[in-house]
């Protein structure tokens, strides 16, 4: 009888205890401050020796929209970006949050400087990060425009795995560096080859 009573009490306790919500982890810049949507940052490599920050490039062919590449010069910080979350009231950027990433730069192209993941390239089979994306408007039509910041080996990485569409099934991949035949260090969706990054306030 005592065993049955104890079992019933445990069951009752299990059903009445509410699970605490998971605590969101804030992304931090190189100064240890919270990343914010109203602040510009440079995205820089954690591992040095292969290049600098991120810039826009026409890859030498003079076409638009421009692609996202890593600057060849390690001393270059590249162009600043802003992060715009799909849903956030306080402007603080959290790990695993769906984000638009937008260069704060003026270009000759009419397309926006919002990042988007292209369709698969025929020659390489890879999906490259380019610009011309739509800012905001989360959903199926803008699925390629949403990226995440994730923790990786005590640093950060960029990740493509949007959750802005409930019935969409995107192929989730790390954003890494692919060096093309012309030496351009292009951002692309790669399996298990993340580009470790840090964020420096402008």
For the domain that residue 104 is a member of, what is the CATH number?
2.80.10.50
Does 187 fall in a domain? yes
Global pTM? 0.87
CA contacts within 13 A on the Cβ side of 199: 24
Q: With respect to residue 173, please indicate whether it lies within any of the assigned structural domains.
A: yes
Does residue 1 lie in a domain region? Answer: no
* Residue 16 placed within a domain: no
Tell me the pLDDT tens digit for each residue of 79-134. 999 999 998 778 999 999 999 999 999 999 999 999 999 999 999 999 999 999 99
51: number of CA atoms within 13 Å, CB side? 22
Count of domains forming the chain: 1
> Strand 116-117 relative to strand 127-130: parallel, antiparallel, unpaired?
antiparallel
In a domain, 30, yes or no: no
Distances in whole angstroms, Cα of residue 152 to Cα of each of 54, 119, 195: 19, 26, 10
- 145-180 pLDDT, tens digit each: 999 999 999 999 999 999 999 899 999 999 999 999
Is residue 83 domain-resident?
yes
Residue 5 pLDDT: 47
Torsion of Cα atoms, 69 then 35 then 166 then 133, to 10°: -40
Residue 9 lies in a domain: no
For residue 8, name the pLDDT band (cuts at 50, 70, 90): very low
Kindly report, residue by residue over 20-58, the tens digit of the pLDDT: 445 679 999 999 999 999 999 999 999 988 899 999 999
How confident is the model at residue 14, as a pLDDT? Answer: 47
Tell me, yes or no, whether 31 lies in a domain.
no
Rounded distance between C-alpha atoms, residue 130 and residue 57, angstroms: 9
Backbone angles phi, psi at 51, to 5 degrees: 150, 180
Domain range enclosing 182? 41-201
């Amino acid at each position: 009888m005592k065993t049955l009573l104890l079992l019933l009490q445990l069951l009752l306790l299990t059903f009445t205890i509410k699970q605490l919500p998971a605590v969101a982890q804030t992304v931090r810049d190189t100064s240890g401050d919270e990343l914010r949507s109203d602040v510009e940052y440079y995205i820089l490599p954690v591992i040095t020796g292969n290049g600098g920050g991120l810039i826009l490039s026409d890859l030498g062919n003079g076409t638009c929209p421009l692609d996202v590449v890593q600057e060849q010069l390690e001393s270059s910080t590249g162009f600043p970006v802003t992060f715009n979350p799909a849903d956030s009231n306080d402007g603080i950027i959290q790990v695993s949050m769906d984000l638009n990433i937008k260069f704060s730069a003026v270009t000759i192209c009419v397309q926006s400087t919002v990042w988007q993941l292209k369709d698969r390239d025929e020659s390489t089979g890879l999906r490259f990060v380019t610009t011309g994306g739509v800012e905001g408007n989360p959903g199926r039509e803008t699925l390629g425009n949403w990226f995440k910041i994730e923790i990786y080996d005590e640093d950060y990485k960029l990740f493509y795995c949007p959750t802005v569409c409930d019935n969409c099934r995107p192929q989730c991949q790390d954003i890494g560096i692919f060096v093309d035949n012309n030496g351009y260090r292009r951002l692309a969706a790669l399996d298990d080859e993340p580009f470790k990054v840090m964020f420096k306030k402008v």
